[in-house]
Amino acid sequence: MRPMTIHFSSGRSDDPPREFPGLPLAVDLSPLKRHYQALGKRHVPKVEAFRRFWAQEGEGLLAPRASVAGIAPEEVVDVLPREVTGSAGTLVLMVWTLGDGLERECERVMSQQGNAMWGLLLDVAGSIALYDMHRLLREWVGSPDRPFGENRVVGEFYPGSGNTSRPLVESVERLGRTAATLGAETRGSVMFHPRKTQYSFLCLGKEGGAFFGGPSPCSPCAGRRCLYYQLGGCHLGLQMDSREAES
């Protein structure tokens, strides 16, 4: 279990930014286990060996941090779907990262002959950790004893691995102050560095009926031919039913 630090800003001038330390992140590798069990008994020892490694060493590579910021809808009206900016009583930007430790270890392992599969499993475990962080942050933001009070999550725009653009990620970088708080930068691309960084916009309010979108498929999506799908790391399969990835 790793502690996740949250850098919080309500967006109000009378409420200075502050830090919430120690939200516990326990990475749940059961989706990986279920995937390999479905492939057959001969695949199970490999994933069990990886789970032991993860418990002893792998999880220690993570440095989970998040930025949570209340923002005005007009600040992102040009980069978000109108359904999002038009339906939000309160709009919250969440950005979260694992740091670069896991990424560097993946590269090191995959550069060694015969270890490519182990490196890919590390990468998949990192993706699972990101989705666990997303769930924890949504629960944290929507909790009534947290800074946004009685407002609950009534909508979300979550691009995932697709449905993004350079203007959008640059807005996320600026509004989330990600370089300063998380060490995460876009460097002129549509991806953050470290790569294990994601973001979403939450709509908060008293009533439901707002917009929910994403995560989007990769473009193009290779379906069952995708190596990440075969390894149990398809982000659609981790987040939902995986029916889109199987088509």
| HSE (side-chain half, CA atoms, 13 Å) at 226 | 22
Instruction: Flag whether pLDDT at 245 surpasses 70.
Output: no
* pLDDT score of 237: 67
Q: Kindly tell me the number of DSSP H helices and DSSP E strands found in the chain.
A: 10, 7
* pLDDT score of 88: 62
> Which one has a higher pLDDT value, 40 or 88?
40
Mean pLDDT along residues 121-128: 91
> Which one has a higher pLDDT value, 57 or 152?
57
**Quick check: is 224 in a domain?**
no
**Quick check: is 228 in a domain?**
no
* pLDDT score of 241: 35
What is the residue range of 9's domain?
A: 2-214
Rounded Cα gap, residues 184 and 5, in angstroms: 14
Rounded Cα gap, residues 79 and 226, in angstroms: 30
**Quick check: is 24 in a domain?**
yes
pLDDT band at 56 (very low <50, low <70, confident <90, very high): very high
pLDDT band at 138 (very low <50, low <70, confident <90, very high): very high
CATH number at residue 64: 3.40.109.40
**Quick check: is 222 in a domain?**
no
What letter would DSSP give residue 44?
H
**Quick check: is 197 in a domain?**
yes
**Quick check: is 226 in a domain?**
no
What angle is formed at CA 209 by the lines to CA 204 and CA 215, rounded to 5 degrees?
Answer: 75
Instruction: Flag whether pLDDT at 228 surpasses 80.
Output: no
Instruction: Flag whether pLDDT at 240 surpasses 60.
Output: no
Mean pLDDT along residues 52-78: 94
Rounded Cα gap, residues 236 and 247, in angstroms: 12
Which residues touch 242 (CB under 8 Å, ≥6 apart)? 234, 236
Rounded Cα gap, residues 83 and 20, in angstroms: 31
pLDDT band at 209 (very low <50, low <70, confident <90, very high): low
* pLDDT score of 92: 94
Tokens 């995708």 correspond to what residue? Answer: 226
Tokens of 31: 């989706």
Length of the chain as a residue count: 247
Residue type, 247: S
What letter would DSSP give residue 223?
G
Question: Are the beta carbons of 245 and 229 closer than 8 angstroms?
Answer: yes
Instruction: Flag whether pLDDT at 84 surpasses 90.
Output: no
* pLDDT score of 122: 93
* pLDDT score of 177: 94
Q: pTM of the entire structure?
A: 0.88
Tokens 């691009």 correspond to what residue? Answer: 159
What letter would DSSP give residue 216?
B
**Quick check: is 133 in a domain?**
yes
What letter would DSSP give residue 218?
P
Question: Are the beta carbons of 162 and 215 closer than 8 angstroms?
Answer: yes
Mean pLDDT along residues 205-213: 66
Most confident of 119-133, 201-215, 216-230, 232-246: 119-133
201-236 burial by CB neighbour count: b if 16+ within 10 A, else e?
Answer: bbbbbeeeebbebbbbbbeebeeeeeebbebbbbbb
**What is the number of structural domains in the chain?**
1
Question: Are the beta carbons of 168 and 159 closer than 8 angstroms?
Answer: yes
* pLDDT score of 233: 73
Helix (H) or strand (E) holding 95: strand 90-97
**Quick check: is 184 in a domain?**
yes
